[in-house]
Structure 1
Amino acid sequence: MSRHGAFRDAEFRALWIAQILSRAGDQFARVALTVLAFQVTGSALAAGAAYAVTLLPWLIGGPLLGWIGDRYPRRAVLLCCDLASAALIAVMAVPGLALPLLYALLFLATLLDVPFSAARSALVRDVFPDDDGYASATAIGSVTAQFAQVVGFAAGGLVAAATTPGQALLLDAITFLLSAALVRRYVRKRPAARDAHLEKISLLRGVRLVFGDPRLRRLTFYAWLATFLVVPLGVAAPYASDSGGGARTVGLLLASSATGTAVSMIVLSRWVPAERRLRLLEPLAVAAGLPLVLCALHPGPVVSGLLWALSGAGSGYQLAANVAFVRAAPNTDRAQAFGVVSAGLVAGQGIGVVLAGGLATVVPTAVVVAGAGLLSTLCALALWAAQAFSPRTTSPSRPRARSEA
């Protein structure tokens, strides 16, 4: 598969559209339940709890549920998760349900997204066994996820304003049904990666794999650097206000960051050979945080937008890390390994944004952004140095023989 041909594959197109539908539906559900919680209680804390409920399942499910995508056919996992999520969200749309029950239903629906996402990520590699094709597909998926998150919240607000919370939840349920229909129609059946009858379930197998293999551990830490790089997005509104801007400035900053990442990933996937892309991982990771450090100088909105775009471009290193990770992780444990990485990433980003928001109440937001950039740069340099001085390991092009057993 050519690095230019990801969209030519019908399976990938179905998985990509299903990803968009799932992201959009998730945002609709979050916004709808937040609005509903505030309408019922009048409490900002109750409204905020609705969003927190969508983070907790990842902390629990990431390490514990990723195995489902390895022990059962990944296509079947996607279908079951979509259909179960549609049912749970549809129940949430029933008028008069108590708020704790709504939280519990949303928790379960979000928990299903853990094995869904892990299985989907592993399945993309099944569709594109070559690194160039997988890199192209990953770049498209990453860019889509970023823009879907920004656009999804805005669209969710519009949907919530134009409909009732119950109607927005029903719309969310429909997105899951459409996703299931696409997967069933276009994604072909494949056997499970791991024989479910020969081995006992090990809930922490993915944790042992990721942190027991020096290559996977290092690449996981690179992925988790996004904990620092997402901080500017979480404090974009107060940063824009401190810079003398308003809603347009917020949009400029968010769009600049997302555009920088999009351009970087597209360039890396389409025009940079795999070997050179891997060599760029370390310098790009260091470069991702450096522009944010300059925000301590309190530049205006335009310069800030340029700095955030450069930071986004540096964060394209995640593409090289992702390709190297999937190459090193054995297929039999790939979904579970993805689940572990995703759990840490979601946890780190959630905690990072909360801490940054709290810190921004006592120090200038520009200092918060610069501090996040500095921490990202220092951690990236530490990882680079650790790799330079570590003993030579086996080539990352193939997993060790025992991993393929």
Structure 2
Amino acid sequence: MTAAAHFSLGRALSVWLGQVLSLFGSSLTSFALGVWMYQTTGGVTRFALIMLCAALPGVLLGPVTGALVDRWPLRRGLLLSDTVAGLMTMVLALLLLTGQLRPWHAYVTTAIVSMASAFQQPAFAVLVSTVVPPQHLGRANGLIQLGLACAQLGAPLASAALLAVVGLEGILLLDAGTFLLGVLPLFLLRIPERPASTSVEGPPSLLSLVREGGAYLRGTPGLLALFLFLAGSNFITGVVEVLVTPLVLALADVKALGMLTTAGGVGLLVGSVVMSAWGGPRRQVHGVLLFQLTCGLSLVVVGFGTSLPLLAAVSFAFFFGIPLINGASQSLLQRIVPLALRGRVFAFSSAITGMMLPLAYSLSGPLADLVFEPALRPGGSLVPLLGTLIGTGAGRGIALMFLLAGTLTVLLTGLAALHRPLRALDARPEASPGPSASEPPIPTSSEGALP
């Protein structure tokens, strides 16, 4: 019997809980550090640079870290990520307590944590697919999405409250404590490993491992299409994410913004609970497309809506679909990708989709300020064409961007649904755990290649 078969549900939940607590602590620090940066520098650009440092390094290193995850024991990737994050938190706390903390320290430590997280995500995804039976992958990924939802919803509220009580110093020390809780199960439990690959020529080089991951994707057009679809959807989400605050504040006040943010957070939480209890649709690609279509239609409604209750309902519906999309797509990868290649494929997926967010963040502000908002102000170039339909004045150009984003999402989903290799991913058989990483199973007609 394999080590994975002896890895009980209680042990798996302890690893999951440790990782969730560590993520929650990191989210506390991320929010508090952003507040400190804005209060210290008074500049939005420097605050945005923190977001860029948190996203870009991990994206760029994704293919390499995925190859290392496939070569290393799973425990090593998880411990490396958690240990580096904990050490960076302690460095920040030490600098702050001695009065030496400067903005560039925050940039550097945030970038290092981003690089470390590039190991954690594929390693944890591989671990889940190793210890969880295929029929329960959807529920397991639902639990992961639930942990992410709790961190995203609860951490900003908790961090804002803790800043007033214990300050940034206390939050950093609390984050260090959650790091210890995160690594404790990794030290105490025997983490199941994948079957070791053997090669008479010795272990393959890191570059060859990266190339093999790319070759597998090129030989599986349905997977590549899925990644490109999710990347396009991620770009659209990133654009509208930046625009929510100015859109709402053009209609109402900060209290209304808080109400809509809470509605979205509750939708994210409920969607995660549904995914963990349901396990997702049996035809996972169809589920991804259906819930993405729902998100696109939600954005279209935002473009026309000015009623706050309606916008709150739309916010709930949009964020409800996100954990179902993420959980279904992750379960699909864990089911069909050969075990020896999963670290690389998961990392490629994160890199392709993750690089869209910095691009979206960079473009959305200038497009709103320089193009769409002026076009729908009184006397603007689009007022004769769209003014009656969408309205004119502050925020209506942003509303038009939401309408266009929703329309693009619907069109993108329709094109994806027409792509046969993508639809055929649902029919692919479950991958066996056996092949050597040095011999990636490029699909052929005998393996059920996609048409």
CA offsets 1:227-260 (integer angstroms, 9 cap, x no match): 323544433322222332x334323323333444
Instruction: Please state how far the C-alpha of 1:168 moved relative to its aligned partner.
Output: 2.8
Tell me, what secondary structure is at the counterpart of 1:199? Answer: coil
- Match 2:418 to one of 360, 371, 385: 385
CA contact (8 A) 1:69 1:336 kept: yes
Instruction: Please state how far the C-alpha of 1:313 moved relative to its aligned partner.
Output: 4.0
Instruction: Please state how far the C-alpha of 1:307 moved relative to its aligned partner.
Output: 2.2
Q: Equivalences for 1:5-404 in 2 at 5 Å? A: 9-38=9-38, 41=41, 43-95=43-95, 96-97=100-101, 99-131=103-135, 133-186=136-189, 188-191=191-194, 197-202=202-207, 203-224=210-231, 225-244=233-252, 246-264=253-271, 266-267=273-274, 270-271=277-278, 275-315=282-322, 316-361=324-369, 362-363=372-373, 364=396, 365-387=398-420, 395-399=427-431, 403=440
Rounded to whole Å, the distance in 2 between the matches of 1:308 and 1:138 is 22
CA contact (8 A) 1:93 1:170 kept: yes
Rounded to whole Å, the distance in 2 between the matches of 1:247 and 1:147 is 22
CA contact (8 A) 2:265 2:319 kept: yes
Rounded to whole Å, the distance in 1 between the matches of 2:273 and 2:36 is 39
Instruction: Read off the aligned partner of 1:223 and give its amino acid letter.
Output: L
5+ residue gaps, structure 1, are: 1-7
Change (3 A) 1:287 1:36: closer
Rounded to whole Å, the distance in 2 between the matches of 1:138 and 1:393 is 18
Instruction: Read off the aligned partner of 2:174 and give its amino acid letter.
Output: L
CA offsets 1:273-323 (integer angstroms, 9 cap, x no match): 753454433333323201211222133111112223333344423332222
Change (3 A) 1:377 1:33: same
5+ residue gaps, structure 2, are: 1-7, 374-395, 443-451
Largest Rg, 1 or 2: 2
CA contact (8 A) 1:231 1:356 kept: yes
Change (3 A) 1:369 1:194: farther
Change (3 A) 1:270 1:157: closer
Instruction: Please state how far the C-alpha of 1:113 moved relative to its aligned partner.
Output: 1.0
Instruction: Please state how far the C-alpha of 1:36 moved relative to its aligned partner.
Output: 4.5
CA contact (8 A) 1:78 1:116 kept: yes
Rounded to whole Å, the distance in 2 between the matches of 1:30 and 1:216 is 33
Rounded to whole Å, the distance in 2 between the matches of 1:194 and 1:93 is 42
Please, which moves more after superposition, 329-338 or 102-111?
102-111
CA offsets 1:313-360 (integer angstroms, 9 cap, x no match): 444233322222221211112122111211233321333244334433
Instruction: Please state how far the C-alpha of 1:42 moved relative to its aligned partner.
Output: 5.0
Rounded to whole Å, the distance in 1 between the matches of 2:344 and 2:35 is 34
Rounded to whole Å, the distance in 2 between the matches of 1:295 and 1:113 is 34
Rounded to whole Å, the distance in 1 between the matches of 2:275 and 2:31 is 34
Instruction: Read off the aligned partner of 1:367 and give its amino acid letter.
Output: L
Tell me, what secondary structure is at the counterpart of 2:61? Answer: helix
Rounded to whole Å, the distance in 2 between the matches of 1:211 and 1:255 is 41
Change (3 A) 1:39 1:236: closer
Rounded to whole Å, the distance in 2 between the matches of 1:195 and 1:306 is 54
Change (3 A) 1:275 1:164: closer
Rounded to whole Å, the distance in 2 between the matches of 1:34 and 1:108 is 16
Identity of aligned residues (%): 21
Instruction: Read off the aligned partner of 1:183 and give its amino acid letter.
Output: L
CA contact (8 A) 1:71 1:194 kept: no
Change (3 A) 1:28 1:285: closer
CA contact (8 A) 2:139 2:278 kept: no
Please, which moves more after superposition, 86-95 or 39-48?
39-48
Instruction: Read off the aligned partner of 2:413 and give its amino acid letter.
Output: A
Q: What is the TM-score with the length of structure 2 in the denominator?
A: 0.77
CA contact (8 A) 2:138 2:280 kept: no
Q: What is the TM-score with the length of structure 1 in the denominator?
A: 0.85
Rounded to whole Å, the distance in 2 between the matches of 1:186 and 1:70 is 20
Please, which moves more after superposition, 56-65 or 151-160?
151-160
Instruction: Please state how far the C-alpha of 1:136 moved relative to its aligned partner.
Output: 0.3
Rounded to whole Å, the distance in 2 between the matches of 1:48 and 1:394 is 39
Change (3 A) 1:158 1:344: farther
Instruction: Please state how far the C-alpha of 1:31 moved relative to its aligned partner.
Output: 3.4
Rounded to whole Å, the distance in 2 between the matches of 1:153 and 1:43 is 20
Please, which moves more after superposition, 367-376 or 255-264?
255-264
Instruction: Read off the aligned partner of 1:373 and give its amino acid letter.
Output: G
